[in-house]
């Protein structure tokens, strides 16, 4: 561990230390500890769940990450701030940031967490939220829901037209509010359940849980959820103050572009302030080209709240504005 002695650094020295990225540091001083995974994705041989990509790093097994070599030395090597800065500015005193790379439209490399041998905790969690058991099993069999080996998170996978995973959202099943997109996720391919036969409608939800809740509700009402296109936004959509200046969420714009037969967009967004604002923004942006139907949950903050009320299931935790584990 580093010393707690007081050392006053020139601000320029601290800034230089913060500018050094982890990949540059490892390439120069720990090359034997560096291993290429795929494309521009690396891991360390010492910790194979510590992934480095696009100027960021994340240690999946510990749930910590950062941007710089300074973050790495303090969080992984457990050096004190002073020792970490001295290590970097001493060892790499002549370091200069590489010239900005010319951005290429390289496909993102999705880093899915390692799968657990079974999906028991995910099944228990989703079933406890009112999601239909057979629907859960169908999604698991299709490979769009699985349980991570580390921490037993629920992983919701979005696939492209060829069936290749392109997006993944992680959600805790153990009662915490943890939720995070997997590194390399492409939000154009959010979690979805698409209709068996072509239809000119798409139903829109904020999160995978809401989408699955609506599919369950349709089953309970004796309707076939496989007759509907169900699309999630992969999280909260934040429109601009001036609604007309907002952008359509990329998951929705990509879907509409690839499915020109769509004529009606049905919005099942939350009943809170953000959800209502998002609904207003999407109406403003889409109403010229599509029929927009506002269909918020009739009871509760979100579709899952409504489903649990519909089924008579009490939530274990009270709903919190934008803070509940979705």
The helix/strand/coil state of 306 is helix
Domain boundaries along the sequence of the chain: 11-91, 120-311
The reply to whether domains 11-91 and 120-311 share a CATH topology is no
Q: Does domain 11-91 have CATH number 3.90.580.10?
A: yes
Task: Say what the pLDDT of residue 207 is.
Answer: 94
Positive or negative, the CA dihedral 43, 49, 51, 57 is negative
Q: Tokens 């979005």, residue?
A: 158
Residue 2: predicted pLDDT: 44
| Helix 11-19 × helix 81-91 angle, to 10° | 80
Digit-by-digit pLDDT tens for the chain (326 residues) are 444 445 566 777 788 788 888 988 888 877 888 888 887 889 988 888 899 988 889 998 888 888 888 999 888 888 888 888 887 876 544 444 455 555 555 667 898 999 999 999 999 999 999 999 999 999 999 999 999 998 899 999 999 999 999 999 999 998 888 888 888 899 999 999 999 999 999 999 999 999 999 999 999 999 999 999 999 997 666 666 676 667 899 999 999 999 999 999 999 999 998 889 899 999 999 999 999 999 999 999 999 999 999 999 976 553 333 333 34
Multiple choice CATH, 120-311, 3.30.70, 3.40.50, 2.160.20, 3.10.620: 3.40.50
**Interatomic CA distance for residues 144 and 138, integer angstroms:** 9
Residue 148 DSSP class: B
CB 21 within 8 A of CB 67: yes
- The span from the CA of 28 to the CA of 45, in Å, is 15
Q: Which of 20, 178, 162 is nearest to 92 (CA)?
A: 20
E strand map for the chain = 34-38, 41-44, 50-53, 56-59, 64-66, 145-147, 154-159, 165-171, 179-181, 192-193, 201-205, 229-232, 264-267, 291-294
Residues 219-235: tens digit of each pLDDT: 999 999 999 999 999 76
Q: What is the pLDDT of residue 107?
A: 65
- State residue 3's pLDDT score: 45
Measured between alpha carbons, how far is 147 from 155 in angstroms, rounded to an integer? 6
| Angstrom distance (rounded) from CA 267 to CA 8 | 55
């Amino acid at each position: 561990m580093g010393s707690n002695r007081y050392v006053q650094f020139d601000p320029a020295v601290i800034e230089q230390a913060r500018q050094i990225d982890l990949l540059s540091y490892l390439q120069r001083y720990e090359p034997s500890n560096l291993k290429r995974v795929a494309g521009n994705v690396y891991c360390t041989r010492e910790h194979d769940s510590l992934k480095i990509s696009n100027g960021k790093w994340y240690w999946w097994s510990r749930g910590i990450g950062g941007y710089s070599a300074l973050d790495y030395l303090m969080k992984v090597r457990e050096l004190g701030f002073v020792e970490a800065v001295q290590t970097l500015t001493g060892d790499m005193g002549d370091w200069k940031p590489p010239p900005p790379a010319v951005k290429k439209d390289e496909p993102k490399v999705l880093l899915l967490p390692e799968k657990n041998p079974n999906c028991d905790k995910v099944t228990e969690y989703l079933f406890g939220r009112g999601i239909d058991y057979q629907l859960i099993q169908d999604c698991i069999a299709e490979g769009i829901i699985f349980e991570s080996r580390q921490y037993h998170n629920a992983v919701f996978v979005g696939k492209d037209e060829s069936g290749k995973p392109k997006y993944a959202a992680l959600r805790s099943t153990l009662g915490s509010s943890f939720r995070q997109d997997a590194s390399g996720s492409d939000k154009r391919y959010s979690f979805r359940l698409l209709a068996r036969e072509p239809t000119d409608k798409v139903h829109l939800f904020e999160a995978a849980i809401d989408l699955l809740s609506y599919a369950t509700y349709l089953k309970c009402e004796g309707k076939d959820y496989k007759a509907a296109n169900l699309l999630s936004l992969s999280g909260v959509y934040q429109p601009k103050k001036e609604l007309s200046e907002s952008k359509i969420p990329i998951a929705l714009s990509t879907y509409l572009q690839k499915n020109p037969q769509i004529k009606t967009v049905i919005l099942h967004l939350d009943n809170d302030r953000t959800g209502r604002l998002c609904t207003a923004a999407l109406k403003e942006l889409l109403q010229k080209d599509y029929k927009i139907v506002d269909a918020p949950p009739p009871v509760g903050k979100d579709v899952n709240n409504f489903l649990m009320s519909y089924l008579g299931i009490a939530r274990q935790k009270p709903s919190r504005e934008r803070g509940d584990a979705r």
